[in-house]
A and B are shown apart, each in its own frame.
Chain A
Amino acid sequence: MVDEMAGNKSSAKPESEKSQEESAAGEQQTSQEGAENAERPQYAGTAKRADYQGNRDRVRTRRLLWGFFTVSVFSGVTTMYLCRNWDDEEFFAHRDIPNGYTPDLMYKRFHARYDGLTTYYAGPAIEPELPEMPKDDNMMLPRYTLVVGVEDLLVHSEWTRQNGWRTYMRPGWDYFLMYLSQYYEIVLFSSESVNFAERMVMKLDPYHAYLTHAFFRESTSYIDGKIVKDITNMNRDLGKVIMLDVNEDAYSKQPHNGIPVKKWTGDKTDRELVKLIPMLEYIAVSMPKDVRKVLQTFEGTDDYAAEYLRREKEHRAKIYKRWEEQKATTTPLKFIAQMFGLSSAVSDKPVIFQDVIRQDGIRNYENMKKFLEENGEKMLEEEKQKEKEFLASQNFTLGTVLQGVVDPSSAPGAVPAPPTQSQ
């Protein structure tokens, strides 16, 4: 069948089939080619040469050349512009690179300016800057600052098909914040944008009782694809700032200030926050000159809080052991004291430093909690009242418009929050 067809009308067949035939009937190859040209004489000599250029081709080439020319001129001019000597303001910002037109200096200026284009957008839009720490003569105010991450540290958001997004609060978050607010100036640093995370901050501290400030995504830097919470310009002595975060990228600029915290993914039995309290409490009360020195002793352990508890337990065991030894030995003085019926000086288990401060801390916490329970409602009422007054005091028309359209009670203090529930 194949042989028969190949002999008869091979020229009308497409290339692919023809090659099959060639392998099948190799001896016929030469005669086939001859037959092809002979059958279609009208096309002889009309094939375009490979380097033939039609008008369209010529126009296209010309356009391409012009485009190339324009782009190279443009980029050349831009490069030269970026290489130019410093302007007045730039000169002071880049003292390390002098003016002058040597290739080396030109390249350095180009590099600095080019980087400046991107770092402007990668840097914080709002500098995370705290106001001056209030002056305190009685040593009553906290002297240390605690920068706490929000996402997966204090709250966790989950999406389900039935409920959509829901945000849950980590077990013990209220105890953690309220208890530590007596030792620290607590600053929240969220990695989400202000529009979204501000509502969560409002939920975390409706009374404005224990959080002093909150920073958001706008205050973070974007370095090598990572969100970094750079606290260099926070207006605080870095020896007195501790950062808590679930992501170590967050404190990669100040690695010795950070305490890694385990991510919370919604587990109701999680106790990480409460576990952290003894350590932070001890650090704040023992008032080290530089917390970085203290935290450095924990580096290498994956759980700082557990390591601290281990140390405290060890210390306690040592004290108790000494006490046992003292009890066992009877000194003459003790013997006389017992004879006169005086209670022994070492009859009770000794209290260590940590026990004392914990007692104080818990008492303060309970006082504060009681105060908020009694006055919290009143404080919220007052705030709403203040907002109403503020809106009413706005004389220009927008104020009146807002008053009519927006219910003042739903203004900033009580923005409709995402469905939040504590567990």
Chain B
Amino acid sequence: MADHTRDPCPIVIVNDFGGAFAMGVIGGTIWHGIKGFRNSPTGERGSGALTAIRSRAPVVGGNFGSWGGVFSFFDCSIKGLRRKEDPFNPIMAGFCTGGALAMRGGFKHARNSAITCGCLLAVFEGVGMVISRMMTPAAPAPAVRPLEA
């Protein structure tokens, strides 16, 4: 039994990749649209923005997508190996993802990137835990009515 809003493990990698790609494309469209608009001379602002979006937004989408996919892949692998579900899974997955994606920059770069990503994910998890704790109502309405004689 698990969270029913998400699919189970192997298939969730595809979902995460797609979700992250879509997020990147949308964000990239906004970002590079504005950037292309501002950087074009008057009169060519519209077309400049479009060109920038066309050439740059898919790249941002790809970057986001690869991050999401690799993260999900590591998350699933770690879950499978540890047979446990706790906040350390995403932290370790973030560490591995950061390292894997920065591997082409050499060992030093990969190490630094891995540590940064791990810390980032740890902060996310911690803040998420604190928030969920604060959001929990002190005394919820009883789900079921008390026993009647």
Interchain CB contact under 8 A, B1 and A192? yes
Instruction: Choose among B7, B140, B147 the residue that contacts A159 (Cβ–Cβ < 8 A).
Output: B7
- Chain B residue with Cβ nearest A194: B140
Instruction: Choose among A121, A131, A194, A201 the residue that contacts B133 (Cβ–Cβ < 8 A).
Output: A121
Q: How many residues of B contact A (CB 8 A)?
A: 24
Interchain CB contact under 8 A, B1 and A156? yes
A384 to chain B, nearest CB (A): 15
Measured CB to CB, the residues of B under 8 A from A are: 1-4, 7-8, 11, 84, 86, 129-130, 133, 136-140, 142-147, 149
Task: List chain B residues, Cβ under 8 A from A134.
Answer: 146-147, 149
With A159-B7, A218-B140 already in contact, 12 other A-B pairs whose C-beta atoms are closer than 8 Å: A121-B130, A126-B138, A134-B146, A134-B149, A140-B149, A156-B1, A157-B1, A201-B144, A212-B144, A213-B144, A214-B142, A418-B4
Instruction: Choose among A191, A196, A214 the residue that contacts B4 (Cβ–Cβ < 8 A).
Output: A196
Instruction: Choose among B4, B136, B145 the residue that contacts A208 (Cβ–Cβ < 8 A).
Output: B145
Task: List chain A residues, Cβ under 8 A from B7.
Answer: 159, 164
A136 to chain B, nearest CB (A): 8
Please count the residue pairs between chain A and chain B whose beta carbons lie under 8 angstroms apart in the complex. Answer: 64
Interchain CB contact under 8 A, B133 and A125? yes
Task: List chain A residues, Cβ under 8 A from B144.
Answer: 188, 201, 205, 208, 211-214
Measured CB to CB, the residues of A under 8 A from B are: 121, 125-126, 131, 134, 136, 140-142, 151-152, 155-157, 159, 161, 164-165, 185, 188, 191-192, 194, 196, 198, 201-202, 205, 208, 211-214, 218, 222, 225, 418
Q: How far is the CA of A191 from the CA of B137 in the complex (A)?
A: 17
Interchain CB contact under 8 A, A214 and B143? yes
Residue of B133, B139, B143, B149 ringed by the most chain A CB atoms within 10 A: B143
Task: List chain A residues, Cβ under 8 A from B146.
Answer: 131, 134, 212-213
Interchain CB contact under 8 A, A141 and B136? no
Task: List chain A residues, Cβ under 8 A from B2.
Answer: 157
Instruction: Choose among B84, B86, B136, B142 the residue that contacts A213 (Cβ–Cβ < 8 A).
Output: B142
Interchain CB contact under 8 A, A151 and B1? yes
Q: How far is the CA of A418 from the CA of B5 in the complex (A)?
A: 11
Q: How far is the CA of A214 from the CA of B146 in the complex (A)?
A: 10
Given contacts A126-B140, A196-B3, contact A141 B147 (CB under 8 A): yes
Q: List, sorted by A's number, 9 A–B pairs whose CB atoms are closer than 8 Å.
A: A134-B146, A141-B149, A151-B1, A159-B8, A164-B7, A196-B4, A208-B144, A214-B142, A225-B84
- Chain A residue with Cβ nearest B144: A211
Task: List chain B residues, Cβ under 8 A from A222.
Answer: 86
